[in-house]
Amino acid sequence: MSVFLESMDPLLIILIGAAVVLFCIIRLKLHAAIALLLAALVTAWITPSALVEAFALQNGMAADEAATLAELPIGKRLATAFGNTSAKIGILIALASIIGSALMRSGAAERIIRSLLGLFGERRASLALLSGSFTLAIPVFFDTVFYLMIPLVKSMAVRQPRKFGLYLMAIVAGGVMAHSLIPPTPGPLFVAEEMGIDLGLMILGGLVIGIITISAGYAYALWANLRWQLPLRDTPDMSIADLRKLNRESNEQLPGLGISLMPIALPILLISANTVLSALKDYPGAHVGSAWSTSMQVLSTLGDPNIALFVAAVIAMILLATSLKDSTAFKKHIAEALASAAMIILITSAGGAFGQMMQQTGIGHRIGGLASGYQMALLPLAFLITAAVRSAQGSATVAMITAVGVMNGVVNMGLDFHPVYLALAIGCGSKIFAWMNDSGFWIVSKMSGMNEGETIRHFSMLMTVMALAGLGAVMIFSLLLPLT
């Protein structure tokens, strides 16, 4: 048995892991967290230590560190991977759950929605969500944008229950593509730097392709909303009955618009300002004067997403306490929000652990090696490599890093078009069909009350449509406007 395991191919290991999670969730009806942890355990068990060590070396670990990782017991590797994911999203989800619950229960979300509808009108509300989430996701990670906007989607859906799916897909479509197309998010920033692409051109190209992709995503959202009715369900932190009660309150009973916007606007401003100043720190003259240093120190602290959302959560809790004027009810609502967050953290961390166990098989390098031997059009090749790695292990950033490692060599050989098109094709490929090994899949699923099948229709398929539209647009632009 051990000889057989030592000869296991990463592709076979990935297929077995995927089969386990799908069988456990679809056939055995196990809780998602249990199914994901079981699949992660099986994947880790059948992965030879030589593959784990090779993966570590390929990702820049020293030889002794790589050997130590490969020798770790399976349970320790799994727990470390679980903890790594929880470290990235745990605090954010807990704070976002408090903010969301406080916004809804205080009536702040209702106030924002009434103002939004007064400005854009109900017929254009979904377009407002689409454009707003796209703009916000350029400096801010999609997860953070989603956390902050989902309360608004729920409040709007109380008025138009049949449009809940449309509103939900609008914020997903608007926010998700910026993560892989427009710097300063890590994926496109890394690809641009590795390929020697001017950041200004990468941002401009990402904006153009991003607008095309979100337009395609919005068209799919309109079609999917007509085909499938996505119900607005009770979630542990907020029931539909409570939302409807707030919907009936007069404007005088609701908080003011300024204070209602603070828990959403402040973290976005802090994170964005930190991003901008960090990007400027290497420019000549950027460090002139003590004011700059002080600003950098303050914003590097307050602009960290965990701290920014903590500040927002404090404001949201003050808003809730002022609105309720009942300490018992206040404590109850905060406890419910944290209980809801705990389950989401558990599922997403299990999904992240599953994804990391898949990464440790060396699947990225394996797929890259296979793809390098094929002679085909470069843009679809870059897209397919990225898509295959993304689907196999769940991380868009890892998929982009893998693809640029495979494709970077062709840049020096000469292209008939500017390499920015290659970078954009890689970015689009990283958004193809996110599924159960992606922690983002579970965040969207659980915070919106969808089951797995609904999440595939309203999230995974939506991303696939946008990814394919982006590839088509990149190929057309590379022909019509090669920039060489």
The pLDDT value recorded for residue 375 is: 42
pLDDT (tens digit per residue) in 298-330: 878 888 888 888 998 999 999 999 988 888 989
Range with the poorest average pLDDT among 54-58, 136-140, 180-184, 348-352: 136-140
pLDDT band at 473 (very low <50, low <70, confident <90, very high): very high
Minimal CA–CA distance to 347: which of 481, 429, 440?
440
pLDDT band at 373 (very low <50, low <70, confident <90, very high): low
As separate numbers, helices (DSSP H) first and strands (DSSP E) second, the chain gives 25, 0
Range with the poorest average pLDDT among 5-14, 220-229, 423-432: 5-14
Average pLDDT over residues 334-361: 82
The pLDDT value recorded for residue 409 is: 60
CA distance 263 to 259: 8
Token code pair at residue 281: 């720190």
pLDDT (tens digit per residue) in 149-161: 888 888 888 888 8
pLDDT (tens digit per residue) in 376-429: 477 888 898 888 878 876 777 777 877 776 676 666 656 778 889 989 999 999
Average pLDDT over residues 23-27: 80
Beta carbons of 434 and 458 less than 8 angstroms apart: no
Distances (CA, A) of 5 to 1, 10, 48, 198, 477: 6, 11, 6, 46, 47
Tell me, rounded to whole angstroms, the distance of Cα 238 from its chain centroid: 23
pTM (predicted TM-score): 0.71
Distances (CA, A) of 254 to 97, 115, 199, 402: 21, 12, 44, 50
The pLDDT value recorded for residue 470 is: 95
Domains in the chain: boundaries: 89-181+204-338
Distances (CA, A) of 27 to 19, 20, 21, 30: 11, 10, 10, 8
Mean pLDDT over all residues of the chain? 81
DSSP assigned state of 252:
G
CA distance 79 to 75: 6
DSSP assigned state of 256:
P
The pLDDT value recorded for residue 131 is: 82
R_g over Cα of the chain:
23
Name the burial class of residue 194, with classes exposed (0-12), middle (13-18) and buried (19+) by CB atoms within 10 angstroms of its CB: middle
